[in-house]
Amino acid sequence: MSEALDEMFLLGEDKMEKAIAQMKREFASVRTGRANPGILDKVLVDYYGVPTQLRQMSQVTVSEGTTLVITPYDKTILKEIEKAIIKAEIGVAPNSDGICIRLNFPPLTEERRKETAKEVKKYGEDAKVAVRNVRREMVDELKKIEKAENMPEDMVKDNQDQIQKTTDKYVAMIDSLVAEKEKEVLTV
C-alpha cells in the first residue's frame, strides 16, 4: 500500500474516532435520573466578565446518587453560578444555602425517559452522519490517489472494500453505544 493510502486510512479512522468521542460527550449531558456531573459541562458562568466552565471554578460531587453538590472555590460567585444553571436549562432548579448549591434530580417520568431515549438516538444518528461523511471523503481521496498513482482496478476495489469495512465497524460501535445509553435511560 502506498504512503498516501496509509495516511488516508489513518486520517479517516481518526476522524471517525472523533465523531464517537463527540457523541460520548453529548451522552454525558443527557439526564438519566441519576446525578451526573457531566450534565454541567455546558454550563458557563460569567466570572468577572469571562465565560468560565462551572466545573473549573467549583467542586462538584454526587450525593446519594440523585443530588449534585456544587461548592464554588470563590463563595462570592454563588449567585452567578445559580443564574448560569438556570440559563443553561438543564431541567433542575438550583437550591443555594449560601455555601453550596444543590441540584436534586427527581426520578424521570416514563414520558421524559422516552424523550431522552429519542435524544440519545438523535446523537447516535448525528455521529453516523459524521462517520459517513468521513467515508465519502476517504472515497474521494482514494479516487485522487488512484489517478495520481495509476492504481490497478482490483486494488481500488480492495481499498473501497476496506473503507466500507472501517465505516461499518464505527457504525456498529455507535449502534452499540446508543443501545447501551438507551438501556440506561429507560431503566427505572
Band (pLDDT 50/70/90 cuts) for residue 75 is confident
High-pLDDT (> 90) share of the chain, %: 37
CA Rg, the chain, in Å?
22
Distances (CA, A) of 146 to 95, 111, 180: 62, 52, 40
What is the average pLDDT across 153-168? Answer: 93
- Cβ neighbours of residue 89 under 8 Å, at least 6 residues apart? none
76: helix, coil or strand?
helix
CATH 1.10.132.20 boundaries in the chain? 3-29+109-186
pTM for the whole thing?
0.72
Contacts of residue 104, defined as CB under 8 A and 6 or more positions apart, other chains included, come to 66, 67, 92, 95
- Looking at the chain, the domain(s) classified CATH 3.30.1360.40 span 37-104
We find that the CATH architecture of domain 37-104 is 2-Layer Sandwich (3.30)
* Average pLDDT value over all residues in the chain: 88
Residue 134 CA to residue 114 CA, distance in Å, equals: 30
**Which CATH number is 3-29+109-186's, of 1.10.132.20, 2.60.40.10, 1.10.1740.10, 3.60.21.10?**
1.10.132.20
Q: How far is CA 132 from the centre of its chain?
A: 17
